Amino acid sequence: MLDIKFLRQNIDFVRKKMRERNVDVDLDKFTSLDSGRRDILQEVETLRSERNRVSREIGQKKKNKEDASELIDRMSEVSTRIKELDESLRKTEEDLHDLIMIIPNIPHESVVYGASPEDNPVVREWGEKPDFDFEPRPHWETGENLNILDFARGAKITGARFTLYRGMGAMLERALINFMLDLHTSEHNYTEVLTPFMVNKESMTGTGQLPKFAEDLFKIEGMDYYLIPTAEVPVTNIHREEILNENDLPCYYVAYSPCFRSEAGSYGKDTRGLIRQHQFNKVEMVKFTTPETSYGELEKLTLNAEEVLKRLNIHYRIVNLCTGDLGFSSAKTYDLEAWMPGHNAYREISSCSNFEEFQARRANIRFRRAENGKVEFVHTLNGSGLAIGRTLVAILENYQQKDGSVIIPEALRPYMKGIDRITL
């Protein structure tokens, strides 16, 4: 959520930024609601002030055994009027709030203008595409042939976009989770947390999933709880409604969680394989920082995610999402795209974002300056470190052998009982 004062004073700038994002927001409605609100506020506060003053007078008179009935009658009318104004104020503020909550973040100045993912500039690349002396197979073939991925059984147990992992496949998934958690906790200084996988409406609103993207979420029937689409939600909300000490910043968390997404609107996209599932595993990194350090922290966060692919020796590139591809809450996002030979394409495997104070404002996460005790909003950041299922895809596709077996990357072998290859 944007600062209402900033919005008020920079309405044309915001209008331009919204156009660059290709979103349609009624900012004229904002202006009229906002000034309407202030008009009502001034009137009602003046009346309240009078009521407070006169009520005190009434108390005095009663104490002195004087007659106060005239004042009481007058204040009774004032109170009625206050009640009316309160009601219209409440309505105006509700409308204003509803509007503000669906306005996306403003892109950082280093984000280039662009309409679609094709316009995302490539920032850097690492490693090389592997050479194959045979036609590389997509992971779903390799996975089914090795009997480690069972799409049919997943569909039977639940439905489309659910997969049963078996034997070495299940073990590889678990190895990846542990490998990533160990890397980020031992070498990158993150604190591991294990969170609830269902959250309430306030948490979903805090990080920006609600109110605008309700259809992307799974909701528990009969309760106001939602399945998390990413650990970003519970982890960022750890400090909702809190004031942190500046000395405690930056604060790094890493969490494993399953993620649940309805994938509404992706019908027909990535229907085969593990790329797009209703349930997948992810290791997520979250940072809380001061405003002046957040962009430096974004670079470090992205490098932390990259380190995973480096250790697994998988070729990837980094793109800087353009204005048209940027997520709702984000001011700047780097996507890590891993090379997937079976797809003959780069596929997103991590997304690292700086939300600046957008989420902090929604979730009311602040910190106190050590220097002068002033309270400010923190900046929040997060990035996948990495999406586990897609990393498994990358391994199956990059490490596949002509005979259909798959080599286990060396870094993972300690987590795989020393096994160096998956064969039938």
Provide the binding-site residues for RNA, judged by CB under 7 A. 4-5, 38, 41-42, 45-46, 48-49, 51-56, 58-60, 62-63, 72, 75-76, 78-79, 90, 243, 373-375
Q: Which is nearer to RNA, 7 or 111 (CB)?
A: 7
| Cβ proximity to RNA, 74 vs 300, nearer residue | 74
Q: Please say whether the dihedral angle defined by the alpha carbons of residues 278, 280, 285 and 288, taken in this order, is positive or negative.
A: positive
By beta-carbon proximity to RNA, the closer residue of 133 and 371 is 371
The answer to whether the beta carbons of residues 257 and 381 sit under 8 Å apart is: no
Known active-site residue 276: yes
Closest approach, Cβ 227 to RNA, in A, equals 17
Report CA-CA distances (Å) from 398 to 127, 138, 149, 272, 273.
12, 10, 17, 18, 15
| Pairing, β 164-165 against β 251-260 | unpaired
Output the DSSP codes for 4-57: HHHHHHTHHHHHHHHHHHT----HHHHHHHHHHHHHHHHHHHHHHHHHHHHHHH
Beta strands 251-260; 191-193: pairing state:
parallel
| Residue 174: strand, helix, or coil | helix
348 counts as catalytic:
yes
CB of 45 to RNA, least distance (A): 4
Point out the catalytic residue in the list 37, 347, 366, 390.
390
SS3 349: strand
Respond yes or no: is residue 390 known to be catalytic.
yes
CB 260 to RNA: min, Å: 20
**21, 37, 161, 261: the active-site residue:** 261
Closest separation in Å from C-beta 159 to RNA = 26
Number of neighbouring beta carbons within 10 Å of residue 74: 14
Question: Catalytic: 351?
Answer: yes
For 21, 34, 250, 336, 352, the CA distances from 300, given in Å and listed in that order, are 26, 39, 12, 13, 10
**Cα first-last separation, the chain:** 52
With respect to RNA, which residue has the nearer C-beta, 49 or 266? 49
Query: Which member of 166, 348, 368, 405 is catalytic?
Result: 348
For residue 226, the minimal CB distance to RNA (Å) is: 15
Helix (H) or strand (E) holding 282: strand 279-289
DSSP state of 347: E
C-beta of 198 vs 407, nearer to RNA: 198
Q: Which of 125, 275, 255 is nearest to 180 (CA)?
A: 255
Q: Exactly one of 203, 351, 353, 384 is catalytic; which is it? A: 351
Q: How far is the CB of 233 from RNA (least distance, A)?
A: 18
Give me the catalytic one of 276, 311, 317, 413: 276
For RNA, the closer CB: 32 or 42: 42
Task: List the catalytic residues.
Answer: 261, 276, 348, 351, 390
